[in-house]
Structure 1
């Protein structure tokens, strides 16, 4: 955690151990930095205080590893790397991109990543669901029960991506244009992908979550490697375990409509005309968007507003979502169509070294226009 007054012209004198006594969300290296920052902090202090009251709710997960993955990391008693190492997943395949000690490898072998989850069949949802969904899933426990996965399985760390998309679809079906009359196709524009570019196998779970649709996703963003621009990927299987005799190793001829992905390098507003040659989106999803942090979002938001297409954004903590919502309202002149809400399918592994004491998780809060 950094001193909240860092970068204001006065060098920090030590670690940020002086916590604001009211909100308890920010810290300072000294009393002088705390005083100098008050004019800025006073506007957010009450809001952060309210957000801190919801810490236990944000940290609540149904998994046996909840304490290890949340409180211990937030209190610097553990790390994402130690969590993965205890499960023999540290710097392994797709899991390596969850490590805090490793940068993304743009030359990673995609075919290997798609085929290898490094899990036993006990921990992977690699077989067809035993029953179709009778109601919308509303939390991780319902999903794990439906897919018969034990609550000590860490597979949710990767399945945050398809479950967040699933939840965004369920929230916006009434607003998705022509979705019911487009031959059961859902076109999703997915903006700003980063580490999920190397975890694309996880999106195969949409075969189970949205079996009535052919799901096509365009992943658009500057993080797409140059050599993968335009790459197309077909996913026709669920998670693949390491068990040689598992059903996931058997050919499956019943899934005629795979989940299809296309990778496109660049900002959405720059690539939009190329993308829509194949059809307009039904839904736009922007995970961990950081709207308030990146000025490049302004042109994209203006474009989305003109399209009148439902768009769902996520961010790591409630304060980031609040700042993003202010930016959205400022650019569009409209209130949010989807108010800020906790994403029930946020990743259950805390982010390390947050600027605030607020709990931070990938895809933690959702909101939309």
Structure 2
């Protein structure tokens, strides 16, 4: 547990050392001392039983089909492995889109240069870098996706593809399919609070394969959008490329061209600011079929309240994800105070969560990007 944060930190008393003292009931939080554990009990007792239940699902949380799963889950959680070493072992540390998958990469200045010029930096056999057969059956897991795209289970591309696959999964959960007459080949998605994914935008090219024949319009709305990029429209009509010059994915040299042979296209538009402040401008051309807020942290930021009120008012399906079940539980509770009803889509595990654990989590629960989701 080296590096764990004391659960009572910030409650008034200074921590006296490493947080090595577990709550013996839930085993999800740790303390630096008995006195801090006692002092924190008045708060922790309201969550202890719930965390105890969540800890029972640790094996399910860590259940991925990849050959590197133990290395990326258990080894990271016990600090025998880190994101830097995981990426270094694959020649991906501080490289292209992968630069922002460890603490070495992302800075606020990075957002001035959005991720449109990078490929996979992997051989073609490990990449979904070209068109494939259409999605004939719904994809339920990473195993389904890798089989459909003919990618071996030692490929790390899922570390970046969890962004578009989570969109795909959320759309299916709220009933968005090609059979919806109101969509009419144009799918409008409002995507709230993007951060790291702004530096990995080419992975959204995979939506060309996931929504064949559709023009997918994604409005990326959030304070992390650089001021000089506000209002910018980006066309993505190709897949991210591998590192082989002769691969079919290199046929299209430019990042943008009208559309793929399947008729699919992805348009990203950037909006700086909070959703409730920019909504009127956005819906002039784009009333959403789906609103999605990846890793939202709803309970942590008061700025979400007017946004939730807006979503409740317009009545569009909205899906929220977060790093762990507890964060989704707290978020759903916050939303219930606004909507006065439980989530239409109950808190559930996302099968397309990122398959490498978050380092230095406050809880001993394994945390993953886009790990759990729920919807209103």
TM exceeding 0.5: yes
Deviation string 1:203-262 (CA, Å, 9 cap, x unpaired) is 110110110321100000001111111111111112210101101112486244411100
| Residue of structure 2 equivalent to 1:123 | 126
| Residue of structure 1 equivalent to 2:155 | 153
- CA-atom RMSD, angstroms? 1.4
Deviation string 1:283-312 (CA, Å, 9 cap, x unpaired) is 000000000000000000000000000000
Q: Distance in 2 between matches of 1:338 and 1:109?
A: 33
Deviation at 1:38, TM superposition (A): 0.7
| TM-score in terms of structure 1 length | 0.96
The 5 A counterparts of 1:85-124 are 85-104=88-107, 105-108=110-113, 110-113=115-118, 116-124=119-127
Deviation at 1:108, TM superposition (A): 2.7
- For residue 265 of structure 1, the aligned residue among 265, 272, 283 is 272
Q: Distance in 1 between matches of 2:136 and 2:260?
A: 25
The 5 A counterparts of 1:140-289 are 140-173=142-175, 179-251=180-252, 254-289=261-296
| Residue of structure 2 equivalent to 1:308 | 315
Please tell me whether the aligned partners of residues 113 and 199 of structure 2 are also in contact (alpha carbons under 8 angstroms): yes
Q: Distance in 2 between matches of 1:194 and 1:109?
A: 11
Deviation at 1:358, TM superposition (A): 0.5
Q: Distance in 1 between matches of 2:182 and 2:286?
A: 14
| Residue of structure 2 equivalent to 1:65 | 68
Deviation at 1:106, TM superposition (A): 2.2
- For residue 32 of structure 1, the aligned residue among 35, 38, 42 is 35
Larger mean CA deviation between 300-309 and 6-15 belongs to 6-15
Q: Distance in 2 between matches of 1:207 and 1:302?
A: 32
Please tell me whether the aligned partners of residues 214 and 263 of structure 2 are also in contact (alpha carbons under 8 angstroms): no
Deviation at 1:133, TM superposition (A): 2.1
Please tell me whether the aligned partners of residues 319 and 374 of structure 2 are also in contact (alpha carbons under 8 angstroms): yes
Please tell me whether the aligned partners of residues 350 and 372 of structure 2 are also in contact (alpha carbons under 8 angstroms): yes
Q: Secondary structure at the residue paired with 1:278?
A: coil
Q: Secondary structure at the residue paired with 1:243?
A: coil
Q: Secondary structure at the residue paired with 1:112?
A: coil
Please tell me whether the aligned partners of residues 236 and 255 of structure 1 are also in contact (alpha carbons under 8 angstroms): no
Q: Secondary structure at the residue paired with 1:122?
A: helix
| Residue of structure 2 equivalent to 1:351 | 358
The 5 A counterparts of 1:10-21 are 10-21=13-24
Q: Distance in 2 between matches of 1:253 and 1:171?
A: 26
Please tell me whether the aligned partners of residues 142 and 351 of structure 2 are also in contact (alpha carbons under 8 angstroms): yes
| TM-score in terms of structure 2 length | 0.94
Q: Distance in 2 between matches of 1:54 and 1:256?
A: 42
Q: Distance in 1 between matches of 2:374 and 2:357?
A: 20
Q: Secondary structure at the residue paired with 1:21?
A: coil
Q: Secondary structure at the residue paired with 1:248?
A: helix
Q: Secondary structure at the residue paired with 2:352?
A: coil
Please tell me whether the aligned partners of residues 215 and 260 of structure 1 are also in contact (alpha carbons under 8 angstroms): yes
| Residue of structure 1 equivalent to 2:136 | 134
Count residues with an aligned counterpart.
Answer: 364
Q: Distance in 2 between matches of 1:133 and 1:94?
A: 26
CA 1:210–1:109: 2 relative to 1, 3 Å? closer
Q: Which runs of 5+ in 1 are unaligned?
A: none
- 1:76 and 2:79 are equivalent in the alignment: yes
Please tell me whether the aligned partners of residues 4 and 27 of structure 1 are also in contact (alpha carbons under 8 angstroms): yes
Q: Distance in 1 between matches of 2:76 and 2:56?
A: 19
Please tell me whether the aligned partners of residues 116 and 200 of structure 2 are also in contact (alpha carbons under 8 angstroms): no
